[in-house]
Amino acid sequence: MVYEFVIPGCQSVKDKRRVVNSLKDSLRSKYNVSVAEVDHQDKWQRSTVAVALVSESAQNLDSVLSGIDSLFADRLDANIIKNERFDYTPFEA
Beta strands in 32-89 (DSSP E): 34-39, 46-52, 79-84
The secondary structure of residue 67, as a DSSP letter, is H
33 band by pLDDT with thresholds 50, 70 and 90: very high
- Structural domains in the chain, CATH included, are 2-84 (3.30.70.1120)
Checking if the pLDDT of 83 tops 90, the result is no
Average pLDDT of the residues of the chain: 87
Q: What is the pLDDT of residues 62-82, one digit of tens each?
A: 899 899 988 888 887 888 888
Q: How distant, in Å, are the alpha carbons of 25, 42, 58, 81, 86 from that of 20?
A: 9, 13, 28, 15, 22
Query: In the prediction, which pLDDT does 93 show?
Result: 57
Closest by alpha carbon to 52, among 34, 40, 70? 34
